[in-house]
Amino acid sequence: MAMISLPTRRFWKCYQNLPERIRRLADESYKLWKENPFHPSLEFEEIRPDIWRIKIGCRYRAIAKRYDAISDLCQI
């Protein structure tokens, strides 16, 4: 299943404030998500109607609002 993501300004602000190591993990997770959104290591799941969460390492998560096949990355 292919999806399109559109990071918001809020996402980029949060991303820029992360430690470099976590930004690299986020980049790796995003690359894997683009290849296979439901890869088990990502734990990509709907936590509320149209609100999705993806795992980034042990302590971080990205939150997305889903519109059909488009996900707006809102926060990390």
> How far apart are alpha carbons 11 and 65 in whole angstroms?
12
CATH of 4-75, one of 3.30.2350.10, 3.30.2310.20, 3.30.40.10, 3.90.320.10: 3.30.2310.20
> What is the pLDDT confidence band of residue 55, given thresholds at 50, 70 and 90?
very high
Sign of CA dihedral 28, 31, 35, 38: positive
Mean pLDDT for 58-72 is 75
> How far apart are alpha carbons 48 and 70 in whole angstroms?
16
Query: Which sequence spans correspond to the domains of the chain?
Result: 4-75
User: Has residue 75 got a pLDDT over 70?
Assistant: no
Closest CA to 71 of 51, 57, 56: 51
Whole-number mean pLDDT of the chain? 84
User: Has residue 64 got a pLDDT over 90?
Assistant: no
Q: What is the pLDDT of residue 9?
A: 87
